[in-house]
Amino acid sequence: MNPRKKVDLKLIIIGALGVGKTSLLHRFVHKTFYEDYQTTLGASILSKIIILDDTTLKLQIWDTGGQERFRSMVSTFYKGSDGCVLAFDVTDVETFEALETWRGDVLAKTIPMEQSYPMVVLGNKIDLADRQVPQEVAQDWCKEKDIPYFEVSAKNDINVVQAFEMLASRALSRVSPSTTRYSRPSPCSMHAANLASTLTASLLV
């Protein structure tokens, strides 16, 4: 039996403040609902290993803050990413309308003019009753941009794993078959992680 290929991928999750990015990430990585709301300052990083077909993927997922005043600093973490989760809150239409700006930011910082950069859009909090963004509206926006769309609930564990695994699969398809990026963290990755910690600490001062 041939050993599985091993690949590491950097994914990011972005979106407006309060849409549930941290809760989505904890649901995927730890299989728990992140009940206590705390604003993410700068970025935090979680890792998860999954298996897709014959490949072992080590996912390094960057949870970025959604505050408008820190957007230029947070966008530093987009560089070198292999894929992106765009999240919004279905009970808050402004977070949906902001997707265009978030999408533009990440494309500008990753692979400018590269429309095939892997993304998925997650409409979170479908467990709540006071919905403001119709499913059809979100689907139409994503269809126009050729981005897969998932209606999700971090609280009730609906479609979260499926969404992250689809993004990982799309990101993997862009990695050269001869590329193995799964050994030691590169100096660039280590610097980025240190930068995330430094920035987060500085924002707390």
- Taking residues 18-42, what's their average pLDDT? 82
Angle at 170 between CA 12 and CA 73, to 5 degrees: 20
| Tens digits of residue pLDDT in 106-130 | 888 876 555 689 999 999 999 999 9
3-state secondary structure 1-29: CCCCEEEEEEEEEEECCCCCHHHHHHHHH
Which domains can be identified in the chain, with CATH numbers?
5-197 (3.40.50.300)
* pLDDT on residue 197: 46
How many angstroms separate the CA atoms of 166 and 149, rounded? Answer: 10
* pLDDT on residue 190: 41
How, if at all, do strands 55-64 and 149-151 pair? Answer: unpaired
Question: Of 14-23, 33-42, 82-91, 188-197, which gets the smallest average pLDDT?
Answer: 188-197
* pLDDT on residue 116: 83
| SS3 state of residue 63 | strand
Ramachandran class of 116: left when φ > 0, alpha when ψ lies in -120 to 50, beta otherwise? alpha
Which pTM was predicted? 0.81
CA distances from 201 to 28, 42, 43, 130 (A): 25, 8, 10, 36
